[in-house]
Amino acid sequence: MELSIPEAADMQAFGEKLGALLTRGDLVLLNGPLGAGKTTLTQGIARGMHVDGRVASPTFVIAQVHHALGDGPDLVHVDAYRLASLDELDALDLDTALEDSATVVEWGEGKVEVLTPDRLTITIIRPEGSAVGDDVAALAVDAARTIRVEASGPRSSQIVAALQDTL
């Protein structure tokens, strides 16, 4: 599935729809360059999951847990950018957290696939290119994104099908 996301509010709205579908054991990998909108998407996911706390990039703390406000799963939000090895990943004990939570991992490609063969991979493509003067910043911040959603198992395929029904 591929979608055009015109603005940050649209990214959050998509995330909210996705978050409403996530259950315990779901793993979502977010890929894309700096400033693509991975944390913005996760903010929407958190809203859709009805979890507590402000969602911010966990770059320096590596992982944050946002507890469910109701009967749904907790959200574990991970930034794997600084993880250099599988040992560092293993120290986070994500495989245990995955059973009880929905887990969203930024920069997880090539690092967290070992947690489960059934996962959703979302790649955010931000326009890049040459611009003159201040237009470079505008291109990075304001340009529409394309998101590519790929399922790699039966549960993640169910999520994609349900997402397509809501769009």
For residues 4 and 98, the model is more confident at 4
Output the domain CATH number for residue 23. 3.40.50.300
In angstroms and rounded to an integer, the radius of gyration of the C-alpha atoms of the chain is: 15
Helices (H), 5-153: 8-21, 38-49, 86-91, 94-100, 135-142
Is residue 166, in this structure, part of any structural domain at all?
no
Is residue 145, in this structure, part of any structural domain at all?
yes
Does residue 73 register a pLDDT over 70? yes
**CB 105: neighbour CB atoms within 10 A?**
29
Q: Which domain holds residue 6?
A: 2-159
Please give the tally of structural domains in the chain.
Answer: 1
> pLDDT class for 129, splitting at 50, 70, 90?
low
Q: Give the DSSP H/E element, type plus range, for residue 78.
A: strand 74-79
pTM of the model: 0.87
Is residue 102, in this structure, part of any structural domain at all?
yes
Is residue 19, in this structure, part of any structural domain at all?
yes
What percent of the chain lies above the pLDDT cut of 70? 80
- pLDDT tens digits for range 21-71: 999 999 999 999 988 999 999 999 999 999 998 888 766 667 888 999 999
Is residue 164, in this structure, part of any structural domain at all?
no
